[in-house]
Amino acid sequence: MAKTIGVTVSERIQAGLVVDHRIVGPLHIFPANYDPDSEDEQDALVELPTEGLVRTICDQIVGAAQGATDIQAIGVALPGLVRNGVVEEAPNLPQLKGSRIFELLRNELATRDIQAPVTVLNDADGCAAGLASLHGRLDSVVRVWTLGIGIGYGRYPFAEGVWEGGHTVVSLDDKERYCGCGGRGHMEGIMGHRAMRLRFLDMEPEEVFEAAKLDPSTGHCADHRCLEFKRLWHKALAAGTASAIHIGGAGKFFLTGFNVRFVDLPMLKDYLQQMVKMSPLQSYSMEIVNDDAQTRVIGAAVTAEQAAGL
């Protein structure tokens, strides 16, 4: 059985030892007690310089290895556009842009006597691989939206391409400039946690969606502005999904990330039905799954295992 280590880096770093697609022992996490609603903790990784972030990732890998000397592969899943071992763009971890992350990780691990081959991938792709493993779909195409600080689009199995689905253009409004990359009309600029905080400087995202709830006795909500944004948020997700369907075909879509708490599935399906009208493309399905750290870690490890031919 392959003994691998999976690492996922998003709002925090999480690493675990994976044997036969199952985590053995505890996850090693930095920061240890992450609160998505704490601005300080959201920026904990952003504030680390590149070298410091690499060292911190390797610290978690060493901890996850639990002293084992027969680690066969290591998968590190990162946010942003990652190709050929280089982070070409990383709006949510800008210090990584342009870094030769594969070489940095390999060299740092070598100083710690860890020589296992390293695979670097996009974090949403790692999530897709983990869900494929968890749901017994390693022989199928799986797509996933990760709804967090940013918006990730993951695909399993790996295929060459950019796949920055969170930057799908879903609005032509000139005022829609909240995306971390600076682009206009992006899905992430509407749905991303950081983008929502910029849009509603007087309210946190959870307060916005709470104020958008309809009172069953009156049919009214506490704040009409919040209700309109809730509708825009779901239209953005539907538009991004509809674009993926029109390009890649129908199939299974998973929704995960800490902001799946805001998803109103009937509303989402209604908007999606309005956008996808071709009958051969209507055999899609949407499923909300928990943002399980273990699934993401397993996905990074599975990808590394396959890349190493194990």
> How many domains in the chain?
2
**Are 141 and 221 members of one domain?**
yes
Residue 167 has pLDDT above 70, yes or no: yes
Give yes or no for residue 217 having a pLDDT over 90.
no
What is the spatial distance between Cα 222 and Cα 167, in angstroms, rounded to a whole number?
31
Those residues with Cβ within 8 angstroms of residue 214's Cβ, 6 or more apart along the chain or in another chain: 220, 221, 227
Q: 16-40 pLDDT, tens per residue?
A: 999 999 999 999 999 877 665 555 5
Instruction: Give yes or no: residues 155 and 281 share one domain.
Output: yes
Q: pLDDT-based confidence at 295, cuts 50/70/90?
A: very high
Res 42 pLDDT > 70: no
Domain match, 301 and 184 both? no
- pLDDT of 225 over the 60 cut: yes
| CA distance linking residue 142 with residue 135, whole number of Å | 10
Is 168 in the same domain as 43? no
Give yes or no: residues 171 and 243 share one domain.
yes
For residues 77 and 50, state if they share a domain.
Answer: yes
Tell me, yes or no, whether 274 and 137 share the same domain.
yes
Say whether both 142 and 262 belong to one domain.
yes
Percent of the chain whose pLDDT exceeds 70:
97
The answer to whether residues 26 and 63 belong to one domain is: yes
**Per-residue confidence (pLDDT) for residue 114, from 0 to 100:** 94
Domain that holds residue 20: 3-123+293-307
In CATH, what number is assigned to the domain containing residue 133?
3.30.420.40
- Cβ atoms within 10 Å of 77's Cβ, excluding its own: 31
Cα angle at 130 between 127 and 136, to 5 degrees?
140
What number is the average pLDDT over the span 78-91? Answer: 90
| Cα 283 to Cα 269: distance, rounded to the nearest angstrom | 13
Q: What is the pLDDT of residue 80?
A: 84
- Cα–Cα nearest to 235, from 172, 301, 157, 178: 172
